[in-house]
Homo-oligomer: A and B are copies of this chain.
Amino acid sequence: MELKQRGKTVLDRKYTINQIQEIVGGILSGDGSIEIKKLLPPKLADENTLALALSEEEIENLTITRAKAAMVPIGVSLDHITTIEVERPRLAMMKLLHLFYEAPDAPTGIHPTAVVHPDAKLGQNVSIGPGAVIGREAQIGDNAKILANVYIGKKTQIGHNCLFYPNVCIGDFVSIGNNVIIHHGASIGADGFSFVTENPSNVEIAKEQGQIEEKQEQKIYKIPSIGSVEIKDDVEIGANATIDRGTIENTIIGKGTKIDNLVMIAHNCNIGEGCLVISQVGIAGSCKVGDRVVLAGQVGLADHINIGSDSIVMAQAGVSKSFPEKSIIMGYPAVPRREFVKQTKNIKSVENLLKEVKILKEELEELKKIRK
């Protein structure tokens, strides 16, 4: 088989610059009747494209673009091309992209290969994709799009307007709000990683005594999770992320919080509202994260830690104790940014210190000699 040319998304949509300006706002200079069908950076743009030039590099590229119109930040004035100047370019871009976004195929109805338990309750206009499995007494709200091979456990409740991409796995007794998006292969409601031994384990001994005393050979018992997971409205969860069920209470993800790919949120965690949890963050058991907290990529939180609202934890930080509201922290073990910057500076100054101390020693020796 001969494969066709690899193309970009090609949609049958077009807008005039006037229409665009109505949607995104901003100041139009030039010809509002130009029709555009695509959005691209200046270099890749053709005559039917609205060139998006949000960075300085891209603005420079407008001198060589084939586009007849461009969206630019406020204050960028160009003669050779029609422009829409916008205050907050990423906000304008967001509105624009919605015009050209094409949602995944999810026809209303239950695919014949899906397996819906007779005691499950489905809302109106629900789409259940091929191979999807809906458990006993599960409830799915209106307009939900449950794509292929998604698994939803028993007694789990899903709100309205949710979108679950293929291979998402949701366990039993989970509660999910409205407008929740979950990407490929994410796991919601697997068992918490919680174990106990008959006698104190190596870790328990090490915590108390600072060292490992004796070989401990004993059975490790699983502590079952009877809590589940509660995900509030407007949450988004990335591909292959994992959110474990709570031991007794639920693990909770607050309203509007966005979780990136491959994030781990352990049992009993309570994550606030409007947080951003970037890729590969790991949050150990029973942590409490406030509202509007940003956890940057690969951050780790030890168990039972509180992070106050409006805090920012910078990438790869290893957080071993709690921090109050509005903290900006980094490093391992994580400290306030100012302290980290000072530490880094101090480490750099050691080289100079070594030289200075050497000179001091020599000078002192000199003085001592003279004394004699």
Contact = CB atoms under 8 A, between A and B. Distances in A.
Interface in A62-113: 88, 90-91, 93-94, 97-98, 100-102, 104-105, 111, 113
A318 B349 CA distance: 22
Contacts of A298: 282, 298, 300, 318
Given A115-B111, A261-B190, A224 B97 contact: yes
Copies of this subunit: 3
Given A261-B190, A278-B193, A371-B370, A248 B39 contact: yes
Contacts of A310: 202, 212, 215-216
A172 B102 contact: yes
A228 interface: yes
B195 A184 contact: no
B279 A284 contact: yes
B315 A139 contact: no
Contact of A149 (B90, B167, B228): B167
B360 A364 contact: yes
A190 B184 contact: yes
Contacts of A195: 258, 276
A46 interface: no
A26 interface: no
A94 B130 contact: no
Interface range, A side = 35 or more
Interface stretch (A14-22, A27-35, A238-246): A238-246
Interface in A296-318: 297-298, 300, 302, 309-312, 315-316, 318
A23 interface: no
B266 A264 contact: no
A342 B90 CA distance: 42
Interface centre among A93, A136, A238, A239 (most CB of B within 10 A): A239
Contacts of A346: 347, 350-351, 354
A184 B184 contact: no
A238 B297 contact: no
A356 interface: yes
Interface string A106-135: 000001010100000111100001110101
A153 to B, nearest CB: 6
Given A264-B280, A367-B371, 20 more contacts: A1-B124, A94-B224, A101-B225, A130-B131, A148-B151, A181-B222, A183-B191, A184-B190, A190-B238, A212-B326, A216-B310, A217-B274, A220-B256, A220-B276, A222-B258, A264-B279, A300-B316, A332-B332, A342-B351, A353-B354
